[in-house]
Amino acid sequence: MHLTLNLPTPETSLKSMAGCDLWLKRDDLIHPIVSGNKWRKLVGFVEQLPPSATVLTFGGAHSNHLAAAATCLQTQGHQGIFIIRGDELNPKSSPALHHCQAAGMHLIFISRTSFRQLREQHWQPSTRQQQAWQLPQDYQLLAEGGSGPHNSQGCQALWQELEQAGRPDHLWLAAGTGGTARGLLRAMPHDCPTHITLVSAVKGSHREAAQTQALADDKQIKLTWIDETYFGGFAKTNAQLQQAQLAFEAATGILLDPVYNAKVWWHLSQQPRPQQGKIVWLHTGGFRPQLIPEKI
């Protein structure tokens, strides 16, 4: 792949802010668009694609996944057919969609009901959809959020980096589908004493939580899943959260996305008692339109 990537990513100490041995693993620095968990999740998928493949993938108007997938596919000369949730939208509806179109991806807008049905059928399009979307015989399916067994490759490398920098006693990260967390759990050794805390950006994702917990139980790894019951659900915010994000950014000069990482910071900063030992917060990046250079 011909992307310029900043790997391995560094860990920055936040001890003076947090009052405990907290480190931020700067996966947001990997690439301006294919940043954070997007690279970790996509690398295993993109590297196994045959030349000039057609990839079918899915997402919402502000999807970090779609923006990252568009950059990866464009860089490697693949085609992308992107199914977008919301038939009222168009390529100008968001910077993410605009970026996908500019990268040469074919955007198809469908109703929220049809999108939900696709999710329920594990993203397998019906024969009618395959014809309407003009899919070739041998297209490659990539689930929403880029989650899947291929996540293991990038997460394996991530776990190795974490171990090499000194294995954390606690690892905090944001969760959406939980795919990144499950990739990490698969990479971690059985009985690993690192306790994982997941801050879900989605309210009530019980299926994802149960799936992730089952994997942790299987590997005898301690896991805590925090549901998004504090701010009202996905992409919801309030003045308290915004203040915490602005204060963090002002103190550190490190930007947070409001949907995922700002909420992790809020929970970390609200801990009644600091956790013992080395705590690592994985910065999972996020699509920041103002950071996109003219040419990638």
- Report the length, in residues, of the chain: 296
Q: Which stretch binds ligand PLP (CB under 6 A): 73-81, 159-167, 177-185, 224-232?
A: 177-185
- Which residue among 74, 180, 197, 205 contacts ligand PLP (CB under 6 A)? 180
The DSSP code sequence of the chain is -------SPPEEE-HHHHSSSEEEE-GGGS-SSS-THHHHHHHHHHTTPPTT-EEEEEE-TT-HHHHHHHHHHHHHT-EEEEEEE-TT--TTS-HHHHHHHHTTPEEEEE-HHHHHHHHHTTT---HHHHHHTT--TT-EE--GGG-STTHHHHHHHHHHHHHHTT--SEEEEEESSSHHHHHHHHHSPTT--PEEEEEESSTT-HHHHHHHHHHHHHTT--EEEE-S-SSSSTT---HHHHHHHHHHHHHH-----TTTHHHHHHHHHT-SSPPSS-EEEE------GGG--S--
> CB-wise, 32 or 179, nearer to ligand PLP?
179
> CB-wise, 21 or 208, nearer to ligand PLP?
208
Residues in 260-279 at the binding interface with ligand PLP, rule: CB under 6 A: 260
Does residue 220 contact residue 226 with C-beta atoms inside 8 Å?
A: no
> CB-wise, 227 or 277, nearer to ligand PLP?
227
- Which residue among 147, 152, 153, 197 contacts ligand PLP (CB under 6 A)? 147
* Spatial separation of the C-alpha atoms in residues 225 and 277, rounded to whole Å: 20
> CB-wise, 74 or 180, nearer to ligand PLP?
180
Tokens of 124: 């397998």
**What is the closest distance, in whole angstroms, from the C-beta atom of residue 272 to ligand PLP in the complex?**
25
Q: Which stretch binds ligand PLP (CB under 6 A): 42-50, 84-92, 233-241, 281-289?
A: 281-289
Under the binding rule (CB under 6 A), the answer on residue 94 touching ligand PLP is no
Q: Which stretch binds ligand PLP (CB under 6 A): 111-119, 127-135, 171-179, 186-194?
A: 171-179
> CB-wise, 21 or 147, nearer to ligand PLP?
147
Q: Which stretch binds ligand PLP (CB under 6 A): 11-19, 69-77, 189-197, 284-292?
A: 284-292
Under the binding rule (CB under 6 A), the answer on residue 145 touching ligand PLP is yes
Under the binding rule (CB under 6 A), the answer on residue 148 touching ligand PLP is no
> CB-wise, 125 or 179, nearer to ligand PLP?
179
> CB-wise, 105 or 264, nearer to ligand PLP?
264
Under the binding rule (CB under 6 A), the answer on residue 44 touching ligand PLP is no
Q: Note the residues at the interface with ligand PLP (CB under 6 A).
A: 36-37, 64-65, 145, 147, 174-180, 257, 260, 284-286
